[in-house]
Structure 1
Amino acid sequence: MERARKNNPEYRSALTEFGVAKEDRVQSRAALLPNLNYNAGFLYTEGNGTPAARFIANNGVHEYISQGNVHQSISLENIADYRRRRAAEAVAKARSEIAARGLVVTVVRTYYGFVVAQRKYATAQRAATEAQRFLDISQKLEKGGEVAHSDVIKGQIQFLQQQRDLQESELEMNRGRLDLAVLVFPDFNENFSVVDDLQLPEPLPPFPEVQAAAANKNPVLRAALAAVQEANQEVAAAWNGFLPALSLDYFYGIDANQFATRAPDGTRNLGYAATATLQLPVWNWGANRSKLKQAGLRREQARVELNFAQRQLLGNLRTFYEEAQTARLQLESLNQSADLATDSLRLTTMRYQAGESTVLEVVDAQNTLTQARNAFNDGQARFRVALANLQTLTGNF
């Protein structure tokens, strides 16, 4: 899992989106606080023989500005924007958790798919060996005049079929190895082995316990709730666009004809000034009203998605739990079927050697054993994948 988290682009993209949303929240919070800047400038104006210079807007031929400026903007729109960014961060965080849980399902499916492919290859090897053994038995019995040549032909057909199945299972095993290598290794390394830990699992917790975990730990529901909060704050920001905004500035430094703290006559150049500006929105061709309508549409969509997420959670929870429960209950039956198929092949082969069964019964017993073993292996992998799917809704339990 650690390797997959480092190399999976979808998961890394979700983490990146979360990081970007977090920085957006930091920036919007900074916009609510006073900021400090330093301004420095020099203005030169053509002289006209008077201290005021040629342009009346300037204060002299030479004007030096060196000031610190503390600026504060006060706007309900900025406050709503900060709250919206905070909700957007919660959405991104929940989605990163969704991606993490989805990655678990992908890794479980790929990992145990490779484990099962290895098992099926081993089963195919045993089946090919058993087919070769039966072919040898039928040939010996034919030489002794105990069976017809048709039994040998059937044995040869079965042997060739098992060889083809062996090649197919090897192909599937190699494909599973490549899929896992792509998922977990950054340099496409095929030199690795996996641990076969597909054992009979513990029973699932009761459904009410799983239901409670889903209600408290489901990231999809959290993302939908946070999206509604984000949409609400977007509406608030749009409404606040109709309200006044206040900005305050405090300056300290010099704005003088000399770049010095004192003038030639000893007058102190250092000083301070403060300004307050109130901006009243009057007319902007309906832009604010359009923003309000736009935000309302997004809020309505977010509410619809929340309602759907709640319904979908209830449906998926029941479906995933029942699938995992069914897969868990079938494991013992599948294991028993594999054991019975093993005994059936052994007894049928002995009966064939004693002349009490036909070649078709032996071939059928061989195929039944292969199918039973593969079904048991598939059943174990199915339970692990079903459990991973269930835990995308509930988290680990």
Structure 2
Amino acid sequence: MILKLRTFTLLLLTPCVSWGQQSSLRLPNAPSASRAVLAVAQSASTSDAPVLLTRQQAETIALANNPRIHIGQLLAKVQHQVVRETRSSELPDLNGNLTAVQAEEASRISAGGLTASRLLQHAGMGVQVSQLITDFGHTQNLVDSAKLNEKARLADAEASREDIVLATDEVFYQTIEAQATLKVAEQTVSARQTLVDQVSALTSAKLKSDLDLSFAQVNLSQAKLLQLDAQNNFDAAKASLDAVLGYDHPTNYTLVAGTDPLAALPPDVGTLLAAAIQNRPDLQSLQWNEQAARKYSRAQHEQLLPTINALGTVGKTPVGSSQYFPTDWYGAVGVNMSIPIFNGFRYSAEASQASYEAKAAAERTHDLRDQVVRDVRTAWLNANTALQRVTVTGELLRQANLALNLAQTRYQLGLSSIVELSQAQLQQTQAAISNANARSQYGFALSNLRFQTGTQP
């Protein structure tokens, strides 16, 4: 009988698997640009002078330092070893044996159960080999299922990467917003302090009333309270940024918004939906899991089929009675077929369980697909609204600046009261904060849209 040994190609665990036109596991290690960014991060950790940090640099630092990235990679490597473990059932099983027996020569075993009832004093050595010929697809389907699970773990690692990128963008834009609000608050305090000084001088000269000075001082106190709140929010946002970047100590960054956030949105949400269905790694992971569950279900059904193995043994017995060992050498080959007949319905129950699990995996994939469609539509609507808010708040800020200039001029000419000037100052401050918030929120809305469509850079 000729034994056909199949050759299998090892799955090499690489950091990249294609998802559409994207890499499945892009790691921030080799490029010189990434090393330069990490050098900037080291400088920010050790230097007292603030270091400029863009969103792209923050993403690179987070991907290099955040432990969730390494967890995803390690789980993918674990699953690769599971593939090797499962495939071992298709490869030869070779064992060596050394045996020595001291016995009452030719005595008989009268109790218990051993392979041979006669005891012989001897020493020998040999090897045994067992090779699976066929189990009608059971082991092969288990190997395929393990490989598909490995692809799912790689997709999970990519999903973790995109989660970290989105979390970094969210905290980055929150910090940008807090930074801009603090800057507005500081400018407001400075402007109102100047007004208090001017009104105080005019009041001393009996050109303004004490009521005007009181209003100016109240406005200054309100601005200082705004500055305190803005400073606290900025410090809290920086702490969150340090955490997502993987630092357990404060760093000294000055965030840079980067390019103009008024980039045009894709006009057709349908193209975004198609990109999301193709590129989302979490959806890809569930699809791989579903296919793995189907392969596993098929393997469980195939447990009911026979298993055929080839067996062989060869060895030598240099020490032993010639009466019972006429030759030093021994050897034999054979074929064994194992046919499952009845095992208490265990195989049928395992097959049914695997079938239900495969159906549940398919439903989970369907459910996530529906969620992806909803999330992409929602993200597109939010980004579109955020873009409109940037335009509206920009116009509001221009009008508030104009109104403040007119109010200041009217007050200096004595044509209006300080109440009108205070109202104009308040409106200008609110408009400046609203415009800064709208711009940072639009930047994050674009990042969220890229995340939902699976097109993170």
Q: Same fold (TM over 0.5)?
A: yes
Aligned to 1:158: 219
Equivalences for residues 208-223 of structure 1 within 5 A: 208-223=270-285
With 70-79 and 22-31 compared, the bigger mean Cα shift is at 70-79
For residues 276-329 of structure 1, give each alpha carbon's deviation from its aligned partner in whole angstroms, at most 9, with x where no partner exists.
Answer: 222222222222222122212212211221221222122111111121122123
Offset, 1:29: 2.4
For residues 87-140 of structure 1, give each alpha carbon's deviation from its aligned partner in whole angstroms, at most 9, with x where no partner exists.
Answer: 212222222222111111100011222222222111111000111122223223
Establish whether residue 40 from structure 1 lines up as the match of residue 102 from structure 2: no
Establish whether residue 120 from structure 1 lines up as the match of residue 208 from structure 2: no
Contact 2:124/2:315, CA 8 A, preserved across alignment: no
Establish whether residue 230 from structure 1 lines up as the match of residue 230 from structure 2: no
1:47 to 1:386, Cα distance in 2 relative to 1, 3 A: same
Contact 2:411/2:417, CA 8 A, preserved across alignment: yes
Counterpart of 2:124 (choices 57, 60, 64) is 64
Between Structure 1 and Structure 2, the one with more helix by share is 1
Aligned to 1:344: 403
Establish whether residue 28 from structure 1 lines up as the match of residue 86 from structure 2: yes
With 10-19 and 161-170 compared, the bigger mean Cα shift is at 10-19
Establish whether residue 374 from structure 1 lines up as the match of residue 424 from structure 2: no
Offset, 1:192: 3.8
Equivalences for residues 151-300 of structure 1 within 5 A: 151-197=212-258, 199-207=260-268, 208-254=270-316, 256-258=317-319, 269-270=328-329, 272-300=331-359
Offset, 1:258: 3.2
Aligned length: 388
Aligned to 1:138: 199
Counterpart of 1:327 (choices 371, 383, 386) is 386
Establish whether residue 14 from structure 1 lines up as the match of residue 75 from structure 2: no
Offset, 1:47: 3.6
Give the secondary-structure state (helix, strand or coil) at the position aligned to 1:200. Answer: coil
Q: Which amino acid aligns with 2:242?
A: A
Offset, 1:159: 0.7
Counterpart of 1:353 (choices 412, 417, 423) is 412
Q: Give the whole-Å Cα distance in 2 for the aligned partners of 1:368 and 1:218.
A: 43
Offset, 1:198: 5.7
Establish whether residue 104 from structure 1 lines up as the match of residue 161 from structure 2: no
Counterpart of 2:152 (choices 91, 102, 109) is 91
Aligned alpha-carbon RMSD (Å): 2.6
For residues 48-91 of structure 1, give each alpha carbon's deviation from its aligned partner in whole angstroms, at most 9, with x where no partner exists.
Answer: 3xxx5656546731131232535336323212211211221222
Q: Give the whole-Å Cα distance in 2 for the aligned partners of 1:379 and 1:172.
A: 17
Aligned to 2:134: 74
Q: Give the whole-Å Cα distance in 2 for the aligned partners of 1:250 and 1:349.
A: 102
Q: Which amino acid aligns with 1:297?
A: Y
Aligned to 1:314: 373
Q: Which amino acid aligns with 2:444?
A: V
Q: Which amino acid aligns with 1:118?
A: Q
Aligned to 2:47: none
For residues 203-250 of structure 1, give each alpha carbon's deviation from its aligned partner in whole angstroms, at most 9, with x where no partner exists.
Answer: 123324323322321223222222221221222122112112222223
Contact 1:101/1:391, CA 8 A, preserved across alignment: no
Give the secondary-structure state (helix, strand or coil) at the position aligned to 2:429. Answer: helix
Q: Give the whole-Å Cα distance in 2 for the aligned partners of 1:253 and 1:336.
A: 93
Offset, 1:343: 2.5
TM-score, with length taken from structure 1: 0.88
Offset, 1:275: 2.8
Q: Give the whole-Å Cα distance in 2 for the aligned partners of 1:274 and 1:353.
A: 111
Contact 2:132/2:309, CA 8 A, preserved across alignment: yes
Counterpart of 1:364 (choices 399, 423, 428) is 423
Percent identity at matched positions? 19
Give the secondary-structure state (helix, strand or coil) at the position aligned to 2:221. Answer: helix
Contact 1:109/1:385, CA 8 A, preserved across alignment: yes
